[in-house]
Amino acid sequence: MFKKLFPNQYVKSIFEINLTELKELGIKGIITDLDNTLVEWDRALATPEVKEWFKTIQQLDMKVTIVSNNTEKRVKAFSNPEEVVYIHNAKKPMRRAFLKAFQDMGLAPEEVVVVGDQIFTDVLGGNRAGLQTILVVPVTKTDGFFTRFNRRMERIVLKKMRQKGLIQWEED
């Protein structure tokens, strides 16, 4: 079980993900979390940088789906202006939303990567669905009410990962 908490890769932000390299490795789709992965949990719309990130994905002929545990209202308001497919109320780390996302993209599991900021939802869920996972540092240090508990548990796992040399970033 502990192994399912480890991502395949870790980066400080989505902007450090080498999308061209992913494409060359056969990745054709990205399943991404929304809150504290793409933008702060309380930011309604995409930043210009996130808009460019989506544009780059599109230019590389890759597909993207936002998979979020948040409400339809929140996810739809963010996704629709960017014309990005989304799944709301995903119940991560359950596998169902991840499976639906890559199947709706028409891709095989080995062609998809999951990007997210939480070990117990994004990484665990992606790993359970048989997908590659990339953990990013949350874009902000504040969280919504329900995420705060997960963050306490994550600190324990991240400490162990740092001790084993699996991640190099430090918490500020």
- For residue 132, what is the domain's CATH number? 3.40.50.1000
Residues 88-107 as b/e (b if ≥16 CB within 10 A, e otherwise) read bebebbebebbebbbeebeb
Predicted pLDDT at 44: 85
Tell me whether residue 17 is in a domain.
Answer: yes
Using CA atoms, how far apart are residues 139 and 84, in angstroms rounded to an integer?
A: 20
Q: What is the pLDDT of residues 2-42, one digit of tens each?
A: 678 889 998 999 999 999 999 999 999 999 999 999 999 88
pLDDT at 143 over 60: no
> pLDDT band at residue 169, thresholds of 50, 70 and 90?
low
By percentage, how much of the chain surpasses pLDDT 70? 87
117 vs 145: which has the higher pLDDT = 117
Using CA atoms, how far apart are residues 122 and 81, in angstroms rounded to an integer?
A: 24
Predicted pLDDT at 157: 72
Tell me whether residue 32 is in a domain.
Answer: yes
Tell me whether residue 147 is in a domain.
Answer: yes
> pLDDT band at residue 150, thresholds of 50, 70 and 90?
low
Predicted pLDDT at 172: 43
Check the CA dihedral 67-70-74-78 and report its sign. negative
HEC readout, the chain: CHHHHCCCEEECCHHHCCHHHHHHCCCCEEEECCECCCECCCCCCCCHHHHHHHHHHHHCCCEEEEECCCCHHHHHHHHHHHCCEEECCCCCCCCHHHHHHHHHCCCCHHHEEEEECCHHHHHHHHHHCCCEEEEECCCCCCCCCCHHHHHHHHHHHHHHHHHCCCCCCCCC
Tell me whether residue 7 is in a domain.
Answer: yes
Predicted pLDDT at 154: 72
The stretch 54-75 carries a mean pLDDT of: 97
What is the domain extent for residue 44? 2-163
Predicted pLDDT at 5: 86
The stretch 84-92 carries a mean pLDDT of: 97
Tell me whether residue 21 is in a domain.
Answer: yes
Using CA atoms, how far apart are residues 104 and 25, in angstroms rounded to an integer?
A: 21
- Cis check: omega of the bond before 93, within 30 degrees of 0: yes
Q: What does the mean pLDDT of the chain come to?
A: 89
By percentage, how much of the chain surpasses pLDDT 90? 70
Using CA atoms, how far apart are residues 78 and 75, in angstroms rounded to an integer?
A: 5
The stretch 108-119 carries a mean pLDDT of: 96
Number of domains in the chain: 1
Tell me whether residue 114 is in a domain.
Answer: yes
Q: What is the dihedral of CA 108, 113, 116, 121, to 10 degrees?
A: 40
> pLDDT band at residue 144, thresholds of 50, 70 and 90?
low
